[in-house]
A and B are shown apart, each in its own frame.
Chain A
Amino acid sequence: MISRTIPDTYKGYGDVRPTMNQTKSHTAQVGDLLDEDPIIDSLRKKGRTPIRYEELSQIIRASGLADGMRISFHHHLRLGDRVLQMVLEELMKMGFKDLTLCLSSVMGEACKAVLQAVETGVISMIETTGMKPPLSTAVQQATLGIPVVIRSHGGRARALMQEDISIQVAFIAASACDRRGNITGAVGPNRFGSIGYAIPDALRSEYVVVITDHEEESIPVSIPYQAIDGLLRVPSIGAKEGLSGGSIRRTKRPVEKLIARRAAEVIIASDLVRAEFSFQVGSGGISLEVSQILAEYLKKRDIKCSFISGGITEPLVKMHEEGLVERLYDVQSFDDAAAVSLSENKEHIEMSSSLYADPTNESCLAHRLDIMVLSATEVDLDFNVNSFTGTDGRILGALGGAPDTAAGARLTVVVLPSFRGRIPSICSSVRTVCTPGGTVDVVVTERGIAVNPLREDILSCLKTAGIPTLTMGELLEKVLGITGKPMSIARHAQLQGIVEYRDGTVIDTF
């Protein structure tokens, strides 16, 4: 049960359709894996010819941008991103007002720039997958008061592809372009790897602006020149050292390692780890640790995985290089090793967020996953998952691709410590529902494992393997026995934002 009170309308967003209970969308892989994202071909058909500009203001003027329109950005440069800041500062100088900012996500210094743009009235609505302080803090203060829409990566891609939202200008950072204006993120001094979140933007925006700091004779083409309208060369698109900032690292925490070990045992017991299986691990040290335990298991059993998708890291690249994984489908490269691999390895394939997780894309890879391992801030008695806010309602993370992959994977395992500090992570009702419980199969903590009663098959596999399980109620009781029952924290009187489910309905508010 999701059981949330959802308003009928939301300012700047319009009518709201509440999310009904959700179930799995898994579809078995049929035929060969795709060698290229089909959207790339659609981009070629746009038939544009990029015009080179000397000044950012010129390109903005040429874009036809006007007050009240929507602009978009992608966050592949992560903490190193300077493009978002550069553009917002220019828009402020040029006197733009009431723009809607549609982001794949935002973090680091760029959050300050967005906040300043909101405070000066340049931005009057934000659509994103996640955000960090000081922007998140300000959004949660009633004084800021602008509408905020949180979407998953697949939900954002769907909204664009289905033209639920229309973008006037997409600003795309590229680490390199060639003479014709083809672009990539995979080479150049500030390479960041996949440009996947920006690909639907390039297809659906009225005007596509590329900002780059490097030109080469020959580059791997991520977005072909025919989809680009204006191109600007700047001294630097970002700080390379920040590119892997905020990304995932193998954990050294004993509790997290224990959870990872247990999750791997669950996955192995599920009998899904066989030839040609596929998997994805979410952000977070526990998830990455699970992938490394699985890698050892694959080596010992001589099992080859067909593909890993999502955010790609060096350890996953290594698995591919060791012959454990046939293909890597990369929507976001979390470190330089992944970026290098993307440029050099033909089995490391760049994919758009639509191919990755868009529920209306018939090739959607999230729907072909066998196993998904997700991190969370909270899980409740109905297996609903919160990965966006803390128990106190503070924005901590992002939706990412969690709702998409949970719905798509044959087995979705949520990994989290049963409490953090003195705050239980298992609760009777999560503060913000991001991923509906109907799409979550197993919850693994250091204090016990709970299986969704909908998945009797998994329960039976674990029983056969001798892995003890608890009901979610028993797990909650056990955790509260340690932490005590926390007092509930009152919600803000004023609505701060809405969380849109991947199908365009609204699953919760915050």
Chain B
Amino acid sequence: MRTLLYTPANTPSMMIQAQVYGADAVIFDLEDAIAPDKKLEARILLAQMFEEWDFETTELIVRINGLDTPWWKEDLIALMGKRAFTVRVPMIETLEQVTLLDRFLNDLETERDMVVGSTRIHILIETPKGVVNAYSLAGASKRITALGFGAEDYCRATGIIRKGPPYTLDYVRSSLVNAAASYGLECHDCAWGFLEDRTGLEEEARRSRSLGFCGKSVIHPDQIEIVNRVFSPTEDEINWAERILSSLSGDVHTVSGQMIDAPVEAQARRILELHSIYTKQEE
């Protein structure tokens, strides 16, 4: 997924439009976007929407409240079984937290006649401790399909300036990409909160892609086009991949001076596969 659009789960006018902007997934947010006294109404609204709304092919994600809050269980109780969605859980630091969530989902799935293990999880790593434990966390449950990076809390905890030099977050980003890749998971970069700074968004997205992220969370529809573009294979990459694959049938072992071996072939196939997926989505 290249773009994951955050949408407050208590604003119907935004919720019903979230699927039209071309994001690869919509994240309905029950956490930071919803004030404590609005949590209940947001849950009710989202549950009703899950029952009645035609999301067509949109990939649905719900960011539930943190496992250290009194709300996360109620979030899942309200929504589980209404329709398939991925649970995005914030501020994950320990294996115990993943186990706690995993068991709770097991119980709910059993109680509601769902296939046990069918609910997927994205874990958000937003703290120094979470980064250190990223490798173990990524493998802590078969439900986990992606790791996500939350930069704001991480910067607050470490003293890194969020809009400082671009390299300042390279270490954490590389750590998360490596942990995710160890288990074949997707890795999603953090949202860019500076809405007017489109150049900054593009620069950050390019850096994330170069570090191995497959996509980025976005907080406004205006950010989707930029992020989709940055995380889609470029024309040069597609041409390169096609040249590599077309050379396989002959005796040629190099293309433009590059040696072709199994990893190069796999990379070329992946580029064309992603290009095909994104082109179909955009149609």
Q: B-contacting residues of A (Cβ < 8 Å)?
A: 254-255, 257-258, 446-447, 466, 468, 481-482
Among B15-23, B29-37, B102-110, B145-153, the stretch in contact with A? B15-23
| Complex Cα gap A468–B283 (Å) | 7
Please provide the 6 A-B residue pairs with the shortest distance between their CB atoms, ordered closest to farther.
A254-B221, A446-B20, A255-B17, A258-B21, A258-B20, A254-B21
A-B contact pairs, 9 of them (CB 8 A): A254-B17, A254-B21, A254-B221, A254-B222, A257-B221, A258-B21, A446-B17, A468-B283, A481-B54
Chain A residue at minimum C-beta to C-beta distance from B18 = A254
| Complex Cα gap A482–B16 (Å) | 9
Chain B residues positioned under 8 Å from A258 (CB to CB): 20-21, 221
Q: A-contacting residues of B (Cβ < 8 Å)?
A: 16-17, 20-21, 54, 220-222, 283
| Complex Cα gap A446–B19 (Å) | 10
Chain B residues positioned under 8 Å from A254 (CB to CB): 17, 21, 220-222
Chain A residues positioned under 8 Å from B16 (CB to CB): 482
Which residue of the partner chain, among A257, A447, A466, A482, contacts B283 with CB atoms under 8 Å? A466
Chain A residues positioned under 8 Å from B220 (CB to CB): 254
Chain A residues positioned under 8 Å from B283 (CB to CB): 466, 468
| Complex Cα gap A447–B21 (Å) | 10
- Report if A255-B222 is in contact (Cβ < 8 Å); known contacts: A466-B283, A481-B54: no
| Complex Cα gap A195–B197 (Å) | 40
**Min C-beta distance of A269 to chain B, whole Å:** 14
| Complex Cα gap A468–B221 (Å) | 21
| Complex Cα gap A254–B54 (Å) | 21
Chain B residue at minimum C-beta to C-beta distance from A259 = B20
| Complex Cα gap A346–B61 (Å) | 57
Chain B residues positioned under 8 Å from A481 (CB to CB): 54
Additional 9 contacts, C-beta under 8 A, given A255-B17, A468-B283, A482-B16: A254-B17, A254-B21, A254-B221, A254-B222, A257-B221, A258-B21, A258-B221, A446-B17, A466-B283
Chain A residues positioned under 8 Å from B221 (CB to CB): 254, 257-258
Chain A residues positioned under 8 Å from B17 (CB to CB): 254-255, 446
Chain B residues positioned under 8 Å from A466 (CB to CB): 283
The answer on a CB contact under 8 Å between B20 and A447 is yes
Chain A residues positioned under 8 Å from B222 (CB to CB): 254, 257
Chain A residue at minimum C-beta to C-beta distance from B54 = A481
| Complex Cα gap A468–B16 (Å) | 21
| Complex Cα gap A466–B20 (Å) | 18
- Report if A255-B20 is in contact (Cβ < 8 Å); known contacts: A466-B283, A468-B283: yes
Most B C-beta atoms less than 10 A away, residue of A257, A258, A468, A481: A258
Chain B residue at minimum C-beta to C-beta distance from A417 = B17
**Min C-beta distance of A445 to chain B, whole Å:** 10
| Complex Cα gap A447–B283 (Å) | 13
| Complex Cα gap A482–B52 (Å) | 10
Chain A residues positioned under 8 Å from B54 (CB to CB): 481
Chain A residue at minimum C-beta to C-beta distance from B282 = A466
**Min C-beta distance of A448 to chain B, whole Å:** 10
Chain B residues positioned under 8 Å from A257 (CB to CB): 221-222
Chain B residues positioned under 8 Å from A468 (CB to CB): 283
**Min C-beta distance of A418 to chain B, whole Å:** 9
Most B C-beta atoms less than 10 A away, residue of A255, A446, A466: A255
| Complex Cα gap A481–B53 (Å) | 9
Most A C-beta atoms less than 10 A away, residue of B17, B54, B221, B222: B17
Chain B residues positioned under 8 Å from A255 (CB to CB): 17, 20
Chain A residue at minimum C-beta to C-beta distance from B220 = A254
**Min C-beta distance of B207 to chain A, whole Å:** 25
| Complex Cα gap A482–B21 (Å) | 16
| Complex Cα gap A115–B18 (Å) | 44
Most B C-beta atoms less than 10 A away, residue of A254, A257, A466, A481: A254
| Complex Cα gap A257–B223 (Å) | 12
**Min C-beta distance of A450 to chain B, whole Å:** 16
Chain A residue at minimum C-beta to C-beta distance from B16 = A482
| Complex Cα gap A468–B220 (Å) | 25
Chain B residue at minimum C-beta to C-beta distance from A445 = B20
**Min C-beta distance of A244 to chain B, whole Å:** 23
**Min C-beta distance of A326 to chain B, whole Å:** 30
**Min C-beta distance of A505 to chain B, whole Å:** 39
| Complex Cα gap A315–B260 (Å) | 51
**Min C-beta distance of A477 to chain B, whole Å:** 12
| Complex Cα gap A447–B17 (Å) | 9
**Min C-beta distance of A420 to chain B, whole Å:** 10
Chain B residues positioned under 8 Å from A482 (CB to CB): 16
| Complex Cα gap A382–B280 (Å) | 31
| Complex Cα gap A310–B107 (Å) | 65
**Min C-beta distance of A417 to chain B, whole Å:** 9
Chain A residue at minimum C-beta to C-beta distance from B20 = A446
Most A C-beta atoms less than 10 A away, residue of B16, B20, B220: B20
| Complex Cα gap A254–B220 (Å) | 8
| Complex Cα gap A254–B223 (Å) | 10
| Complex Cα gap A255–B220 (Å) | 11
Chain B residue at minimum C-beta to C-beta distance from A446 = B20
